[in-house]
Amino acid sequence: EAAVTQSPRNKVTVTGGNVTLSCRQTNSHNYMYWYRQDTGHGLRLIHYSYGAGNLQIGDVPDGYKATRTTQEDFFLLLELASPSQTSLYFCASSDGLGQGLAPLFGEGTRLSVL
Amino acid sequence: QQKVQQSPESLSVPEGGMASFNCTSSDRNFQYFWWYRQHSGEGPKALMSIFSDGDKKEGRFTAHLNKASLHVSLHIRDSQPSDSALYFCAASETGANTGKLTFGHGTILRVHP
């Protein structure tokens, strides 16, 4: 069964802390995405990738790095976390949008930066 | 400027009623549209896509796209309490192989008994 698994599910850190959010997909999809969800803003794209070693800038990339180490694994890095990065983060994967195949989302990671 | 705009912000319909959502893109490069639904505590799940002008029906759900005005709508007939959720419209560029999907702010639906 197609799956996108995120870890951890919840994370609390302090301002200036170092955080890594992990995402693994078992769908053999080429594309992987990181979004953040905030009330009043919907889902906003941070970074995405179309394969191992590739990284594309999204719409709200400031303060975030990402790395795609394998076809399956995509990481989001916050090296100096700030309270403005408190949010619900979603990872997704897709096989490209041209065939009408919608990205499949994980269950999310709730991050609090104190 | 928000490239994908949704209305209304929230909606309340009686059980068995019709729920209708609207979405407009301000970017003419956005020609492919998706509707997603998110229940509380879960990730968004895709409901349907629409790429061509006209209607597309899947069970109780009907989407309508007008490419000239870049307006897409979603209608849920015979709404059930389990349909209560946050509904997102999302759009991607023509050609669609960029893989980049842009979301609207969402519409909260409450279906009351």
Question: What's the average model confidence in pLDDT over B58-79?
Answer: 96
Share of chain B above pLDDT 70, in %: 95
Q: Cβ contact (<8 Å) for B42 and A56?
A: no
pLDDT, residue A6, reads: 97
Q: Which residues of A touch B (CB under 8 A)?
A: 4, 30-31, 33, 35, 40-45, 48, 50, 56, 58-59, 90, 94, 96-98, 100, 102-108
pLDDT, residue B2, reads: 78
Q: What is the pLDDT of residues B22-44, one digit of tens each?
A: 999 988 888 889 999 999 999 99
pLDDT, residue A39, reads: 86
Q: Choosing among B34, B100, B102, which should be mutated to test the A contact, i.e. which has the most A CBs within 10 A?
A: B100
Q: Please determine, for residue B96, whether its predicted confidence score (pLDDT) is greater than 60.
A: no
Share of chain A above pLDDT 90, in %: 82
Residue of chain B with shortest Cα separation from A95: B99
Buried b (16+ CB within 10 A) or exposed e, B20-32: bbbbbbeeeebbb
Q: What is the pLDDT of residues A51-63, one digit of tens each?
A: 999 999 999 999 9
